[in-house]
Amino acid sequence: MNLGFVCDHCLGRQFAKLLSGYSNDQRGEIVRRLLAMEYEAKPFKLDTSNFHGFTFRRKMKTRKPGICVVCKNLFEELPKFADQAAKILKKMDSKSFMVGVKMNDALAMAEESLWEKSGIAYCEPIKSELNRELGKLVEKKTGKIPDENRPEIIVLLDLQNKQIETLINPVYVYGEYRKLVRGIPQTKMKGHETVEDIIAKPLMKTTRASSHTMHACGREDRQAKCLAWRPFVLEINQPLKRRINLKIIEREINRGKMVKVRNLRYSSRKEIVEIKRKKVEKVYRLRVNFENPVRDIQRVGKIVGVVKQKTPRRLLKSKPDKLRHKKVKSIKWKKINTKIYEFEVRTESGLYINELVSGDKRRTKPSISEILENPGELKQFDVVKIFV
């Protein structure tokens, strides 16, 4: 305080960890009064603008306070920033918010300089106080609920540019889908309609969002149908409207013939992590054409057990060449003719089905072709069950 005027907020913040039930500006006012009494009893070196407005018993000259040497009167500007934030928030479909502050270099250096002189034993960072005080003002002006855990919107005070920014948190929608046609990928692929696009289209239109990302429990091959219900969470980014009727969305998606959905509900980022972690088992229905008539089909039962798979040759450009151990849990078969069989195979997640049939030039061992000593070609396959 001997270098210039310090406002109540910045003075009281040095004692923020002492006594509860007081705001920092209230603490600052108390400390200022105590210092004024001490100063009148025995003057000491101090900028007298810090005592402007006090009535001393003996004549003392005090200067008018200037700008706070720490915050540059930033706390006086908070109502203006709160008005800006409230104006933005009132246009948005949200119930909860969180305030954040992006510090500038000058304020950070001023605070560090203050800490060097007064210590940090009982103080609170200015960023914390700004968050709290701006949050109170925004709550009062909008009626929206502060929520540090799952805010729908983040109000960011950018001190470098002296402006309010807003970050809209995503909406997450859980559901389960079936893919009833071949030839469409699960997730975004340039130039192709995808399962993700079909599900996201009505959601994007209703929420007026900027983009979307699908997080699914595994994936099926582009050329496979998924006749089982596969869990997913769709992440909808920067939505202007958050509260929508998911039953109506579900009916709209299901009017199409390629993809069906069920059990749409609101979700969270936590559930995305849970879905990605799940190690599911799947049952595939395969149709295989063999080069020669099949003899002794019962031998194919030897495929049950651990299958060693090196990264398929078709994927070596995009994936590292590594060895995987995956389990085949069961296999059933149905004869179509002497050269064509239909199989139902239950496997661990992550097993490459094409290579389980062909062997991929012995990079997958054992394979159906190897066991039957008869080259086989996978003509089509579908996911018929998913064990979550």
| Mean pLDDT score, 311-320 | 93
Domain ranges of the chain: 1-69, 77-168, 171-277, 281-387
CATH level 2 (architecture), domain 171-277: 2-Layer Sandwich (3.30)
Please tell me the total number of residues recorded for the chain in this structure.
388
Give me the pLDDT at residue 190, please. 80
Q: 135 or 44: which carries more pLDDT confidence? A: 135
Give me the pLDDT at residue 1, please. 63
Give me the pLDDT at residue 255, please. 97
77-168 with 171-277: one CATH topology?
A: no
Annotated catalytic residue within 8, 25, 197, 221: 221
Q: CA 74, CA 160: separation in Å to the nearest integer?
A: 12
In this structure, are residues 224 and 354 in contact, taking their beta carbons and an 8 Å threshold?
Answer: no
HEC per residue, 1-68 = CCCCCCCHHHHHHHHCCCCCCCCHHHHHHHHHHHHHHHHHHCCCCCCHHHHCCCCCCCCCCCCCCCCC
Residue 149: CB partners within 8 Å, gap ≥ 6? none
Give me the pLDDT at residue 121, please. 87
| Mean pLDDT score, 197-220 | 95
The pLDDT tens digits for 119-128 are 888 999 999 9
- Domain 77-168 classification at class level: alpha beta
Q: Which fold has domain 281-387?
A: Alpha-Beta Plaits (3.30.70)
The tally of CA atoms less than 13 A away on the side-chain side of residue 265 is 5
The tally of CA atoms less than 13 A away on the side-chain side of residue 117 is 12
User: Which range among 70-74, 234-238, 276-280 shows the weakest confidence by mean pLDDT?
Assistant: 276-280
For all residues of the chain together, what is the average pLDDT?
93
User: Which range among 78-92, 180-194, 242-256, 281-295 shows the weakest confidence by mean pLDDT?
Assistant: 180-194
In this structure, are residues 300 and 342 in contact, taking their beta carbons and an 8 Å threshold?
Answer: no
Assess whether pLDDT exceeds 80 at residue 63: no
Please give the full DSSP string across 161-226, using - where no structure is assigned: TTEEEEEEPPEEEEEEEEE-SSS--SS-BTTB--HHHHHHHHHHHHHT-SEEEEEESS---TTSEE
| Mean pLDDT score, 316-325 | 94
Give me the pLDDT at residue 310, please. 96
Residue 25 appears among annotated catalytic residues: no
Assess whether pLDDT exceeds 70 at residue 2: no
Assess whether pLDDT exceeds 70 at residue 131: yes
